[in-house]
Structure 1
Amino acid sequence: MARSLVVDVHTHLYPPAYIELLKERKDIPYIRPFPPSNQLCLCNRPPQNSSAQGSANGSSKVPPGRILYRHYYEVDEKIAFMDHHQIDVSVISLGNPWLDFMPPDTAGDVAIKINDETNELCKLYPGRLFFFGALPLSAPESIILAEISRLKTVSQARGIVMGTGGFGEGLDDPKLIPVYKALAESSMPIFLHPNYGLPSSVWGSRGSDYGQVLPLSLGFPMETTIAMTRLFLSGVFDTVPDLQIIVAHSGGCLPFLAGRIEACIEHDKRLEADGKLTSDRKTLWDAVRNNIYLDGVIFDKTGLKTAIEVAGVDRVMFGTDHPFFAPLDEGKTFPAMTVNRDAAKEAFPEDDTESYDLVMGGNAVRVLHL
Structure 2
Amino acid sequence: MSRKLLIDIHTHLYLPRYAQLLRARSQIPRITTLNGEERLVILAGEAATGRPVGPSYWDRDAKLRFMDTHGIAISIVSPANPWLDFLPPAPALQTCEALNSDLEEYCATSPEVELGGRRRKRLYGMGYLPVVPGQEVGGVCAAVEALGKLPHIKGVILGTQGLGKGLDDPALLPMWESIAKAGLVVFLHPHYGMPPEVWGAQENGHVLPLALGFPFETTTAVARLILTGILDKLPALKLLLAHSGGALPVLSSRLASCIAHDPVAASRLAHDARYYLGRMWYDAVAYGPEELAFVVPTRGTDRLLCGTDHPFFPPLKGEEMWMSVTENLDAVENAPGWSEGEKEGVRGGNAVELFGL
- TM-score range relative to shorter protein: over 0.9
User: Could you say what secondary structure the match of 1:332 adopts?
Assistant: coil
Report matched runs for 1:279-290 at 5 Å. Answer: 281-290=270-279
The residue number in structure 2 matching 1:296 is: 284
User: Could you say what secondary structure the match of 2:215 adopts?
Assistant: helix
Q: Are the equivalent residues in 1 in contact too, given 2:187–2:242 (CA < 8 A)?
A: yes
The residue number in structure 1 matching 2:68 is: 83
Q: Are the equivalent residues in 2 in contact too, given 1:165–1:195 (CA < 8 A)?
A: no
User: Could you say what secondary structure the match of 2:127 adopts?
Assistant: strand
Moved beyond 6 Å, runs of 4+: none
Q: Does 1:230 align with 2:224?
A: yes
Give 2:347's match in structure 1, choosing from 343, 355, 360. 360
Report Cα offsets for 1:179-207 as digits up to 9, x if no partner.
1000001111110101121111111122x
Structure 1 residues 284 and 271, CA, compared in 2 at 3 Å: closer, same or farther?
A: closer
The residue number in structure 1 matching 2:7 is: 7
Percentage of pairs with the same residue:
38
Give 1:102's match in structure 2, choosing from 87, 95, 103. 87
Rounded Cα–Cα distance in structure 2 between residues aligned with 1:258 and 1:128:
35
Structure 1 residue 269, shift from structure 2 partner: 5.1
Structure 1: 5+ residue stretches without partners: 56-62
Report Cα offsets for 1:6-35 as digits up to 9, x if no partner.
11000001110101111122332221112x
Q: Are the equivalent residues in 1 in contact too, given 2:180–2:234 (CA < 8 A)?
A: yes
The residue number in structure 2 matching 1:325 is: 313
User: Could you say what secondary structure the match of 1:136 adopts?
Assistant: coil
The residue number in structure 1 matching 2:295 is: 307
Give TM-score scaled by structure 1 length. 0.89
Rounded Cα–Cα distance in structure 1 between residues aligned with 2:324 and 2:15:
22
Give TM-score scaled by structure 2 length. 0.92
Rounded Cα–Cα distance in structure 1 between residues aligned with 2:152 and 2:278:
27
Query: In the alignment, residue 201 of structure 2 is paired with which amino acid?
Result: S
Q: Are the equivalent residues in 2 in contact too, given 1:348–1:355 (CA < 8 A)?
A: no
Q: Are the equivalent residues in 2 in contact too, given 1:164–1:193 (CA < 8 A)?
A: yes
Structure 2: 5+ residue stretches without partners: 113-120
Rounded Cα–Cα distance in structure 1 between residues aligned with 2:167 and 2:176:
10
Q: Are the equivalent residues in 2 in contact too, given 1:81–1:332 (CA < 8 A)?
A: no
Query: In the alignment, residue 44 of structure 1 is paired with which amino acid?
Result: I
Rounded Cα–Cα distance in structure 1 between residues aligned with 2:143 and 2:217:
27
The residue number in structure 2 matching 1:42 is: 40
Q: Are the equivalent residues in 1 in contact too, given 2:3–2:344 (CA < 8 A)?
A: no
User: Could you say what secondary structure the match of 2:282 adopts?
Assistant: strand
Q: Are the equivalent residues in 2 in contact too, given 1:6–1:88 (CA < 8 A)?
A: yes
Structure 1 residue 276, shift from structure 2 partner: 4.3
Q: Does 1:26 align with 2:18?
A: no
User: Could you say what secondary structure the match of 2:84 adopts?
Assistant: coil
| Aligned Cα root-mean-square deviation (Å) | 1.8
Structure 1 residue 44, shift from structure 2 partner: 2.2
Query: In the alignment, residue 19 of structure 1 is paired with which amino acid?
Result: A
Q: Does 1:68 align with 2:40?
A: no
Rounded Cα–Cα distance in structure 1 between residues aligned with 2:90 and 2:324:
39
Q: Are the equivalent residues in 1 in contact too, given 2:289–2:336 (CA < 8 A)?
A: no
The residue number in structure 2 matching 1:60 is: none
Rounded Cα–Cα distance in structure 2 between residues aligned with 1:123 and 1:333:
27
The residue number in structure 1 matching 2:115 is: none
Q: Does 1:218 align with 2:205?
A: no
Give 1:133's match in structure 2, choosing from 127, 137, 147. 127
Report Cα offsets for 1:16-69 as digits up to 9, x if no partner.
0101111122332221112x1x222222244x5xxx66x3xxxxxxx1x23213
User: Could you say what secondary structure the match of 1:144 adopts?
Assistant: helix
Query: In the alignment, residue 334 of structure 1 is paired with which amino acid?
Result: W
Rounded Cα–Cα distance in structure 2 between residues aligned with 1:2 and 1:172:
40
Query: In the alignment, residue 272 of structure 2 is paired with which amino acid?
Result: T
Q: Are the equivalent residues in 2 in contact too, given 1:190–1:244 (CA < 8 A)?
A: yes
User: Could you say what secondary structure the match of 2:298 adopts?
Assistant: helix
Indicate the structure (1 or 2) with the bigger Cα radius of gyration. 1
Structure 1 residue 344, shift from structure 2 partner: 0.6
Structure 1 residues 366 and 100, CA, compared in 2 at 3 Å: closer, same or farther?
A: same
Query: In the alignment, residue 294 of structure 2 is paired with which amino acid?
Result: T
Report matched runs for 1:246-285 at 5 Å. Answer: 246-268=240-262, 270-271=264-265, 275-276=267-268, 281-285=270-274
Give 1:190's match in structure 2, choosing from 186, 189, 209. 186
